[in-house]
Amino acid sequence: MKKSLLFFALAVGSYGTIHAQTTTSSVTGIVKQSTGQTTTGATIKITHQSSGATFSGSADSNGRFNIANLQEGGPYKIEVTYIGQKPVVYDNVFLEAGEALQLDPVFAESSETNLGEVVVVGRGLIDIAEDRKTPIAVSTISRLEIEEKVGGQDITATLVNTPSVYVTSQARGFGESSMTTRGFDQSNTAFLLNGQPINGMDNGRVFWSNWNGLTDIASLVQIQRGLGSSKLAISSVGGTTNFVTKSTDMTQGGFFKRTIGNDMLRKSTLAYNTGLMKNGFAVSAMITDWKGNGYMKGTEGAGQNYFLSVGYKLNEKHNLNLMVTGAPQWHNQGYTSALKNFLDNGRKYNDNMTTINGVETNPRKNYYHKPVANLNWDWTIDDKSSLSTVVYASMARGGGQSKRNDASKEKVPYLAADVNNHQWYGVVSNYNRKLNDNINFNIGFDLRDYKGEHYRQVTDLLGAPSIAHSGNVNLPGLTVTSNEYSTNPWKTWSDKPTDSKDRLAWDYEQIIRYAGLFGQIEYAKDGFTAFAQGSVSQQHNSRNDVFLYKIGEGKSENVNNFGYNVKGGLSYTLGGHTLFGNAGYYSRQPYQNNIFMNYKNDVNPFAVNEEILGLELGYKYNSRFFDVSVNAYKTTWANRTTASSYTAAQKDVDKYGADKVQVGSLIYNTNYGVKQDHQGVELELLTRPFSFLQLKGFASVGKWIYDGESNTIVRNEDRVELEITKRDLTGVKVGDAAQTSFGAGAKVFIIKNFSVDADYRRYERLYGALPANRPTMKLPNYDLLDAGVSYKVVLSDKNAISFRVNMNNVLDKLYISEATSNFESKADATYWKGIDTSNYVLMGWGRTWNASVKFTF
């Protein structure tokens, strides 16, 4: 009997082998993450549910797989798995003879992040383009790219190889980088953390030193260029950048990572996840400690990052997630200097270095601690409707230190910090309803309450028993203070002056309240999509000054501004090809720093609503081997305000007087009523010609110019008005970003878990900032080459060791990254690449490096 069964089995097997030569089937596909990035090394297991026979394979370096020699019929069960991720499962799959079944599984959670989550929280608020049918101009950076590329840089470094993005100022110090998008600075690009706005409410700026921890906790970064189709009541001109963190990891484990780099950079990170516990909770925690000497001379810094996320699934309808994160830090700063100083002393020269009590030091220092907490609640009301809400709070303490002289006849030197404390509370909620198979509708609100506190305090008396100051109308004559306050970011919460005699130069509060209502409707059918979006908002601004006004008399008038926007778009997709167009109009309220003049209660007549019109056309093509997108845009922006600053030289002292300006102090230029016209074309492509090779490229060409007249106010470091000028800016080039940029990158998988990558980019038609009485200055073109190597040793299913080495500016190019002046050249001027060397510039980084090792357990 056994022999008969064996013979029968062999016969069946032989028949199957012969039959497979002509009629066997296969399952093919490409494995991706929810971000659209492909996943390397996923395992595909196919089980014949009747016989129990199994077939398996794995995805290659581009996420592709092909499981062949499958018999027709079924049913089959197909499981796609990856370490630490929830499997993608297909049940009861039947195959036809000779069929090549195409499956493209997508992991709900990124397989390239260490801080995954039990559920995706805030899905109705986190406005990721992959969740939206209507396409826009967008670039997405995965967790793996963030981890590989950033090293010791700010998280803005993840976006340097995307169209129309220019990142500069890294050389100023840790966290000092700035980013422009389509020629608009970051105060005019919306930045969101899990749906929570993080741009400063008083001026729209983002200081990356406050968000140092994002490089460790971000699971993806996505930039949506232009007005986009973001449904929130946010006002962005250049674009919207989303930083998305995961809540809590579904599996138990963690990692330890150690990074070293140029100029004594040292960084250690430890993370641990409890996994989903029996009580329905899961907790992820992370702590980072870092320090370094900085690239420019005297730009040392140190700090910590912390992250805690607690997820809880109450039931099938309600998910909660609480996140707390912060990045207390201090770092010394560098600024622009005369080009001649860099050429004579090297690109690491720092104008801020001075001798204090016989020791060369840098008195310019930033210190800050800004904890952020948010609570996300996702409510699945039914199969057609849901509600997502985030309640958040931000409390900040810190300031910027510099050297000053007191008001006495002796001009006693001391160190003081300009303090910027604030408390910010907000809630954003969005209701989503699927009206039918083709129409989706949402409506929501955005409420914010902000109170800022500003004054100057002594941080170091430099050995003097006390210093004298004046200017407070409530303290006539000279006021003496002998108290010092710490610049340790952890101590700023308790160590602060409560007595007005210890508050120098100014002492005022800002109050900003904002209420927005937004809605969007989206239609999709047979490849055609359309959306219409609108929002209205009311913004209240006031200030209370107890320095320039008698106590009880310093409350300003209430300035209330109404704003709105309308946007819409259409697209059509056929066979992987998509054509789309978007248009929008904003009437945006001015920031409070532009409403009240000279840091007094005087209302600025030039501060009116800004008017922005944006138009965009685009084309996308996506396939397994090739992705390309082309975008054309035009944005006009009227009634706007621009600002710049530079370090005063002796000629400024001669012009404005030694009582108002000192050599080395800052002079601020603010331009009101500016109109800008930005238009351009962008290209982005990605190709995977072979399983071991990935190629990408980008290019952007813009024409960004000013139009019409501007009113310019020049102020000193104490905000005292030095002069007002009026000029015609028509045709002047917009600065602070390269109007032409292009680049290419390649990643080669040498062997399994070992890869080499390189990125090249070039910048042309780069202009400096807009100075007070001159047009912007054209800077020399430059190009950069970055490279890196990655290697991973898998020890077990849960344990691995990963190695990464980066080198930036491999060829050590000497270049100017930005300029803050455009002096009229004299007969005896000297030049470097056509630039008068008396101009104030900032040099870019030379060759830098970093290396890391990461143990996952």
**What pLDDT sits at residue 11?**
41
What residues have CB less than 8 Å from 8, skipping those under 6 apart? none
Q: Which helix (H) or strand (E) holds 143?
A: helix 143-149
Q: Are 495 and 487 in contact (CB under 8 A)?
A: no
- Residue of higher predicted confidence among 575 and 130: 575
Average pLDDT over residues 276-299: 91
Residue 14 predicted with pLDDT over 50? no
**What pLDDT sits at residue 720?**
83
Burial class (CB within 10 angstroms; exposed 0-12, middle 13-18, buried 19+) of 788:
buried
What residues have CB less than 8 Å from 390, skipping those under 6 apart? 122, 125, 194, 195, 196, 374, 375, 376, 377, 427, 428, 429
Residue 424 predicted with pLDDT over 50? yes
Residue 125 predicted with pLDDT over 90? no
Q: pLDDT tier at 841 (50, 70, 90 boundaries)?
A: very high
Reported as a single tens digit per residue, the pLDDT across 180-233 is 999 998 888 888 888 888 888 888 889 998 888 888 888 888 888 987 656 666
Report how far residue 471's alpha carbon sits from residue 720's, in angstroms, rounded to the nearest whole number: 12
Three-state DSSP class for residue 624: coil
Architecture of domain 20-107: Sandwich (2.60)
Q: Are 393 and 435 in contact (CB under 8 A)?
A: no
Report how far residue 849's alpha carbon sits from residue 787's, in angstroms, rounded to the nearest whole number: 10
Report how far residue 77's alpha carbon sits from residue 70's, in angstroms, rounded to the nearest whole number: 12
What percent of the chain has a predicted confidence (pLDDT) above 70?
90
- Taking phi first (over 0 means left), then psi (-120 to 50 degrees means alpha), and beta for anything else, what does residue 220 get? beta
Q: Are 546 and 554 in contact (CB under 8 A)?
A: yes
Reported as a single tens digit per residue, the pLDDT across 350-364 is 999 999 989 999 999
Report how far residue 266's alpha carbon sits from residue 301's, in angstroms, rounded to the nearest whole number: 11
**What pLDDT sits at residue 233?**
67
Q: What share of the chain is helix, strand, coil (3-state, %, to 5)?
A: 10, 55, 35
**What pLDDT sits at residue 109?**
42
Reported as a single tens digit per residue, the pLDDT across 105-124 is 887 543 333 333 333 456 66
Q: Ranked by mean pLDDT, which of 77-86, 717-726, 807-816 comes out on top?
A: 807-816
Question: Among the listed ranges 62-66, 437-441, 734-738, 744-748, which one has the minimum average pLDDT value?
Answer: 62-66
User: Quick one: CA dihedral 207, 212, 213, 216, positive or negative?
Assistant: positive
Report how far residue 505's alpha carbon sits from residue 407's, in angstroms, rounded to the nearest whole number: 11
Question: Among the listed ranges 32-36, 338-342, 604-608, 748-752, which one has the minimum average pLDDT value?
Answer: 32-36
- How open is the CA angle 751-757-763, to the nearest 5 degrees? 165
Report how far residue 175's alpha carbon sits from residue 178's, in angstroms, rounded to the nearest whole number: 9
Three-state DSSP class for residue 543: strand
Mean of the per-residue pLDDT values of the chain: 87
Architecture of domain 253-856: Beta Barrel (2.40)
Residue 549 predicted with pLDDT over 90? yes
Burial class (CB within 10 angstroms; exposed 0-12, middle 13-18, buried 19+) of 383:
exposed
Report how far residue 69's alpha carbon sits from residue 654's, in angstroms, rounded to the nearest whole number: 86
Q: pLDDT tier at 771 (50, 70, 90 boundaries)?
A: confident
**What pLDDT sits at residue 65?**
87
Report how far residue 27's alpha carbon sits from residue 102's, in angstroms, rounded to the nearest whole number: 6
Report how far residue 157's alpha carbon sits from residue 142's, in angstroms, rounded to the nearest whole number: 13
Q: Please give the order of strands across the beta sheet that includes 64-70.
A: 64-70, 25-30, 100-103
> In the chain, where does the domain assigned CATH 2.170.130.10 lie?
129-245
Report how far residue 164's alpha carbon sits from residue 633's, in angstroms, rounded to the nearest whole number: 11
**What pLDDT sits at residue 118?**
30
Report how far residue 241's alpha carbon sits from residue 229's, in angstroms, rounded to the nearest whole number: 12
- Residue of higher predicted confidence among 242 and 852: 852
**What pLDDT sits at residue 37?**
58
Nearest partner of 413 among 355, 470, 371, 366, judged by Cα = 355
> In the chain, where does the domain assigned CATH 2.40.170.20 lie?
253-856
What residues have CB less than 8 Å from 498, skipping those under 6 apart? none
**What pLDDT sits at residue 61?**
59
Report how far residue 245's alpha carbon sits from residue 194's, in angstroms, rounded to the nearest whole number: 7
Q: Which helix (H) or strand (E) holds 595?
A: helix 592-595
In whole angstroms, what separates CA 463 from the centre of its chain? 42
- Is beta strand 88-95 parallel, antiparallel or unpaired with respect to 73-81? antiparallel
Residue 21 predicted with pLDDT over 60? no
Q: What is the DSSP letter of 234?
A: -
> In the chain, where does the domain assigned CATH 2.60.40.10 lie?
20-107
**What pLDDT sits at residue 134?**
64
**What pLDDT sits at residue 459?**
98
**What pLDDT sits at residue 17?**
40
In whole angstroms, what separates CA 484 from the centre of its chain? 35
Q: Are 413 and 404 in contact (CB under 8 A)?
A: yes
- Residue of higher predicted confidence among 818 and 144: 818
Question: Among the listed ranges 88-102, 533-547, 564-578, 579-593, which one has the minimum average pLDDT value?
Answer: 88-102
Nearest partner of 809 among 744, 743, 759, 764, judged by Cα = 759
Report how far residue 10's alpha carbon sits from residue 582's, in angstroms, rounded to the nearest whole number: 64
Q: pLDDT tier at 718 (50, 70, 90 boundaries)?
A: confident
Tell me the chain's radius of gyration from C-alpha atoms.
Answer: 29
**What pLDDT sits at residue 82?**
62
**What pLDDT sits at residue 130?**
55
**What pLDDT sits at residue 110?**
39
Q: Are 357 and 463 in contact (CB under 8 A)?
A: yes
Output phi, psi for 799, to 5 deg.
Answer: -110, 135
Nearest partner of 263 among 362, 171, 344, 337, judged by Cα = 171
User: Quick one: CA dihedral 471, 473, 478, 481, positive or negative?
Assistant: negative
What residues have CB less than 8 Å from 729, skipping those under 6 apart? 674, 675, 706, 707, 708, 709, 710, 770, 775
Question: Token match 């890391």: residue?
Answer: 852
- Residue of higher predicted confidence among 32 and 232: 32
- How open is the CA angle 431-432-437, to the nearest 5 degrees? 160
Question: Token match 């810094």: residue?
Answer: 301
Looking at the domain 129-245, which fold is it? Ferric Hydroxamate Uptake Protein; Chain A, domain 1 (2.170.130)
Average pLDDT over residues 824-841: 92
Q: Are 616 and 633 in contact (CB under 8 A)?
A: yes
- The two tokens of residue 682 are 């962008």
Average pLDDT over residues 684-699: 91
Question: Among the listed ranges 137-141, 582-586, 642-646, 653-657, which one has the minimum average pLDDT value?
Answer: 642-646
Residue 731 predicted with pLDDT over 50? yes
- The two tokens of residue 650 are 């002796």
Annotate 38-91 with DSSP letters as a single string: B-SS-EEEEEETTT--EEEEE--TTSEEEEEEEPSEEEEEEEEE-TTSPPEEEE
**Can the peptide bond before residue 465 be classed as cis, meaning omega within 30 degrees of 0?**
no
Q: Are 598 and 721 in contact (CB under 8 A)?
A: yes
**What pLDDT sits at residue 229?**
53
Residue 817 predicted with pLDDT over 50? yes
Residue 85 predicted with pLDDT over 90? no
Residue 33 predicted with pLDDT over 80? no
Q: pLDDT tier at 16 (50, 70, 90 boundaries)?
A: very low
Average pLDDT over residues 718-744: 90
**What pLDDT sits at residue 851?**
97
**What pLDDT sits at residue 15?**
36
- The two tokens of residue 152 are 């010791």
Residue 86 predicted with pLDDT over 50? yes
Report how far residue 832's alpha carbon sits from residue 843's, in angstroms, rounded to the nearest whole number: 13
Output phi, psi for 94, to 5 deg.
Answer: -115, 140
Q: Ranked by mean pLDDT, which of 205-219, 770-784, 806-820 comes out on top?
A: 806-820
